[in-house]
Amino acid sequence: MSIDVDFSLALNDRTGKLFLGKDIISTLGTRVTRVRYGRFHEFPQTDFMRRVAGRLTLKETVARVFRPRLSSLLPVIRDPRPTLHLDPLSVVRHRLEARDIVLCHDVGPITHPQYFAPGVHEFYVLAYDQIRRIKPHMVFVSKTTQQEFHRLYGEDYASSSVIYNPTRLGVKEGEGRAVDGVSSRFLLTVGSVGDRKNQARCIEAFAASGLAQEGWQYVIVGQCEPGAEAAIELAKQSAGVIMPGYTSDDQLRWLYRNASGFVLMSLLEGFGMPVIEAIEYDLPCLVSRSSILTEIGGEAMIDADPLDKESIAAGMRSLACLPDDERSRRMAQARTHLANFAREPILESWRHLVERIG
């Protein structure tokens, strides 16, 4: 069976979705006849053209949602082959059919619209309404997301599968370069900075933990999203908190290699790839209790209530003061759990899915 793939998210997205999409397209090989980037059949060759294509694709999406009569002048896309949508949003530009496949990372724009930019909620309302009507083949990156989707949009889809995100190649390879101002004892958070990732409350928790007075630092790395300003301002006022801004790959490797523990107290998470990366670097992790992060990290995770500053502070102290034997036990447990994200079995699941649907 051959399929087409809509990879429009590659025009604007630089998160884990981009790497996953590349992995899927690569592993499907000749099963993929054509890849779409918006209305284009080839990825733009220059960064300028990528931005132009991204803006045009966004404008069409906005028109489909907010100006449907005007957008009706531009025909929707319908290829003769089934289409794999690497993000649900791309279905608004297509005539979706039950034979198509939609990859769902999370339903956060529906359940927690306050954590996203204006308009994102409306985009996904239209996309998921189309998906609910047509009921194509659905693939989810976690059991948590699958359960939440079906709670919201019902059952009886062409199929419903969970295929985890695979570990990324080359995460630990390459030189490391120190980040100015970071000492030998620090906790690390990697991920977009904003309300959704809860860094402001984590900064308050770090201050309450007393670790700064003992010489510890808390390093937060990531690009900005809605709510980042509050976290950045709070970091400036808090002893021991460092937000270095943009970090290169070699600096990020150095941070992972030298951190004493990893913290991810997200209020909403699509998958939590930074937790997988932290485990690969043998870092014990503190994550949000009863969240997708406990599914992804397994029983080796230290957890805390992400809405309770004191709970986070206690978790940070536990992470910083973890005895060597406890650390070794947790990391052995985490590495065993990491087998769930081994690349080849996961990518084989994608090949099998496409062949089965065909």
pLDDT per position as a tens digit, 153-178:
999 999 999 999 988 766 677 788 88
Please tell me whether residues 40 and 64 are part of one structural domain.
yes
pLDDT of amino acid 82: 95
Element (H, E) at 324: helix 324-337
Give CA separation, 145 vs 75, 152, 186, 264, in Å. 32, 11, 32, 18
Query: Does 175 fall in a domain?
Result: no
Q: The whole model's pTM is what?
A: 0.87
Would you put residue 295 in left (φ > 0), alpha (ψ -120 to 50) or beta? alpha
Q: What is the CATH number of the domain that holds 129?
A: 3.40.50
Please tell me whether residues 217 and 334 are part of one structural domain.
yes
Token pair of 276 as six digits? 């997988």
Over the chain, what is the mean pLDDT?
91
pLDDT of amino acid 309: 96
pLDDT of amino acid 176: 84
Query: Does 46 fall in a domain?
Result: yes
What value does the mean pLDDT take over residues 229-250? Answer: 91
pLDDT of amino acid 320: 94
Query: Which structural domain range is residue 20 located in?
Result: 3-166+342-357
Query: Does 132 fall in a domain?
Result: yes
Give CA–CA dist 35/45, Å, rounded: 15
Give CA–CA dist 126/288, Å, rounded: 30
pLDDT of amino acid 115: 87
Please tell me whether residues 228 and 262 are part of one structural domain.
yes
Please tell me whether residues 209 and 318 are part of one structural domain.
yes
Query: Does 85 fall in a domain?
Result: yes
Please tell me whether residues 214 and 158 are part of one structural domain.
no
First to last CA, the chain: 5
Give CA–CA dist 280/299, Å, rounded: 16
pLDDT of amino acid 171: 67
Please tell me whether residues 18 and 132 are part of one structural domain.
yes
Kindly tell me the sign of the dihedral angle through the C-alpha atoms of 54, 49, 273, 240: negative
Q: What is the three-class DSSP state of 21?
A: helix
Give CA–CA dist 179/248, Å, rounded: 10
Counting the structural domains of the chain, the total is 2
Element (H, E) at 136: none
Query: Does 176 fall in a domain?
Result: no
Please tell me whether residues 133 and 37 are part of one structural domain.
yes
Give CA–CA dist 285/334, Å, rounded: 10
The residue assigned the tokens 């390093």 is 219
pLDDT per position as a tens digit, 102-154:
999 989 999 999 888 888 999 999 999 999 999 999 999 999 999 999 999 99
Query: Does 222 fall in a domain?
Result: yes
Q: What is the CATH number of the domain that holds 226?
A: 3.40.50.2000
Please tell me whether residues 107 and 224 are part of one structural domain.
no
Query: Does 286 fall in a domain?
Result: yes
pLDDT per position as a tens digit, 72-85:
788 999 989 999 99
Please tell me whether residues 277 and 307 are part of one structural domain.
yes
CB within 8 A of 213, min separation 6: which ones? 239
Please tell me whether residues 317 and 349 are part of one structural domain.
no
Please tell me whether residues 316 and 346 are part of one structural domain.
no
**202, 171 Cβ separation under 8 angstroms:** no
Nearest alpha-carbon partner for 8 in 84, 116, 96: 84
pLDDT per position as a tens digit, 3-60:
999 999 999 876 778 888 999 999 999 999 999 999 999 999 899 999 999 999 999 9
The share of the chain scoring above pLDDT 70, in percent, equals 99
Query: Does 34 fall in a domain?
Result: yes
pLDDT per position as a tens digit, 185-208:
999 999 889 999 999 999 999 999
Please tell me whether residues 215 and 103 are part of one structural domain.
no
Nearest alpha-carbon partner for 185 in 150, 216, 214, 209: 216
